[in-house]
Chains A and B, each alone.
Chain A
Amino acid sequence: MTDLLLRGGRVLDANGERLADVAVADGRIVEVGTDLDPGGATVLDAAGCVVAPGLVDLHTHLREPGREEAETIETGSRAAALGGFTAVVAMPNTEPAIDSAGVVRQVVELGEAAGLCDVHPSGAITVGRAGEQLAPMAEMAALGVRLFTDDGRGVQNERLMRRALEYAAGLGVTLAQHCEVETLSAGGHMHEGSWSSRLGIPGIPAEAEELMVVRDIMLSRLTGGRIHFQHLSTAGSVELVRRAKAAGLAVTAEACPHHFTLTHAEVASYDPVFKVNPPLRTDVDVAAIKAGLADGTIDAIATDHAPHAQETKEAPFDEAPCGMLGLETALALALTELDLAIGQILALLSWQPAAIAGLADHGGPIVPGRPANLCVIDPEATWVVDPYRLASRSRNTPYAGRTLTGRVRHTVLRGTPVVIDAEAQR
């Protein structure tokens, strides 16, 4: 018997689009067709909306354990569900870092207890993300961890990165790199260029990112290992990845909404809400990120959702921490700012990141037998970003007051509607 019926939407997945109802029972899709009989099922209206596989975020900071004043797994999961995400990959830069089976289990359990989206921890590549010694990757992979990263830092040592790539290949897992050569970026707080020079803020040159991208492309060639580039922010990085893909190397890449919607000129306000790492770059970089998303060089839009407590973001610019909220605005920013068909945007936000993270239950297709991880999007709805109405525990969105087009109406996690009419159900 059907538990849930999504009625009258444009069903859109990697195989295309058709107008249909979607019937769900016992957490799985049971039928996709027109004029399905709801019986006693809960009916969610999807008329005028797109019914898509749930979104997948490759890059979420949930802050728990360690920084619960900024976000918890529960509040971050709620923000994710409201943003249309049914799965997020939690970054390991918690306190303690996710660098052992114990912390992996803790994050998984807290994610299951929240029950708002699937929380998949990523594991650290090195112990304590200190870049000195490999973390027990096999132990974490045995618990289902598929993505490893020291995010917040890149692995600085070439020899260690080479060994990590070789070791990861044996486990069938992917390494994700935060590309930043620290000897070049140290002391910087924004993109190095015309604005940093004028504002008197020490800069981070684009080359600090690009040097590590080119190094890791070479290490991928050396080892045959798979590498995923996180939050690419520069035109040079996009071009390097484009050439590496053309050469047949096993590389993938993500970009964040703030890197295709904002530039370093925002820092002129000195508001640390615009402080992020990698930093906001130039118009040329924004255009290159958009081009990379359009031509397939960049495989995924990731949020780099990075909550910070209000008081830490009210500090002087150079003392404030890096990061911005992203889960609740990512889809709408992509729909509003990218000149791409909605199917391509959903590829970037759902099935392509699901494939990179190895999440078989997410990303569709929407066919009978598949787990019912779905989101229903009203692509025409407009809304104004209000930091005080976001579900995240923090308020550090750079988009306060901005009008966006496209809103998540419903989110369904394994058959359970966790968001109905843009309201979280738990």
Chain B
Amino acid sequence: MKHLLGIDDLGADGIRVLLELTDSFVEVSERPIPKVPALRGKTVVSLFFEDSTRTRLSFETAAKRLSADTMSFSVSGSSVRKGESVRDTVQTIEAMGVDAIVVRHRSAGVPWQIAGWAGASVINAGDGWHEHPTQALLDCYTIRQHLGSLDGLHILIVGDVKHSRVARSDVAAFRALGAEVTLVAPPTLLPPSLEGWPVRCTSRLDAELPGADVVYLLRMQRERQQEALLPSLREYTAFYGLTRRRADLVRPDALIMHPGPMNRGVEIAAEVADLPNAVITDQVRNGVAVRMAVLFLLLGAGLQGAVPDLPAVAITGGVRD
């Protein structure tokens, strides 16, 4: 496997291998010196055409813990408005010699286009409303960590599915691992067609909460009001927000998840985000290990490779803490 563009690139078996591989990198991350020489000599560049400090830092931390060299290239706004085409940017970066390009772009499909132009491995770190595969993998890992397996679980994805790359990747990954998925949103925030989507969908959140094993809340963006998709954020919170009252309908052993950054008080009440079964910081923590596994898979062992023996990195010139 050369690129990770969408969840379908992995398939159910690929996701399982990757989650097992992640276990070893979680172990590495818990070491006093959380660093292994697995990708020494490899160069990973993060190419972010849209700001996302969290995802970029997570990938760069993952690459550094594998001893890869990292470069960072940020272009905010449209590349066309900047004058240089995406293709020229990619070719410029490739000429410097890189092994993997981690790309984030506001337009759907750009990682696929780059994979067609570049010789390096391409990892999709989010393309428009389309996919965010490493987010889905860290979500799967977090659920598996807490509940053992996704098989047969009932997962609610609540909120702005229409504009959400997280939702599209999560649906694919959760279903691949055997979970049942229900989308809960006002119809204006669902995709215009759900033909071919292996999901149930409903506009009534309260009725769904008691039966859920996982309640996954999507970020609600404020500009949706201006597009006539919602009367107001207040009304959204009243009917779709995980308020304190609604959180009582969730079973105590069910997980509450969010891809971040949260709008506390909109899609999730401030105190709900701090409940013991809200695993939002675990998601962030696991993100680094999952991305280590992805980088290792693409630049190191490949899907067929066994779970690696990961020696500690050799420290020369004294240990610093």
Contact = CB atoms under 8 A, between A and B. Distances in A.
B94 to A, nearest CB: 15
B105 A316 contact: yes
A133 interface: no
Interface in A178-234: 192-194, 196-203, 205
A208 B189 CA distance: 20
Contact of A270 (B112, B168, B197): B112
B128 A200 contact: yes
Contacts, number: 74
A205 B191 CA distance: 13
B246 interface: no
Nearest to B190: A197
B85 A311 contact: yes
A316 B130 contact: no
A201 B196 CA distance: 16
Contacts of A319: 78-80, 107
B192 A314 contact: no
B86 interface: yes
A316 B196 contact: no
Contacts of B105: 316
A215 B168 CA distance: 37
Given A200-B131, A200-B168, A316 B113 contact: yes
B87 A317 contact: no
Given A193-B193, A205-B192, A200 B108 contact: yes
B108 A199 contact: yes
A201 B87 contact: no
Contact of A315 (B86, B127, B128, B165): B86
A269 interface: yes
A318 interface: yes
Q: Is the interface of B mostly helix, strand, loop or mixed?
A: loop
Contacts of A271: 113
A201 B108 contact: yes
B96 interface: no
Contacts of B194: 197
B192 to A, nearest CB: 5
Contacts of A317: 107-109
Contacts of A205: 192
B195 A316 contact: no
Interface in B164-189: 165, 168
B129 interface: yes
Q: Which of B85, B107, B130 has the most CB of A within 10 A?
A: B107
B109 A203 contact: no
B129 to A, nearest CB: 3
Contact of B109 (A194, A199, A202): A199
26 contacts: A193-B192, A193-B195, A194-B195, A197-B193, A197-B194, A197-B197, A198-B191, A198-B196, A200-B108, A200-B128, A200-B129, A201-B108, A201-B128, A201-B129, A201-B130, A270-B109, A270-B110, A311-B87, A314-B87, A315-B85, A316-B79, A316-B86, A316-B113, A317-B109, A318-B107, A318-B128
Interface of B: 78-80, 85-87, 105, 107-110, 112-113, 127-131, 165, 168, 191-197
Which are the 7 A-B pairs with shortest beta-carbon distances?
A270-B109, A200-B130, A316-B107, A200-B129, A197-B191, A194-B195, A200-B108
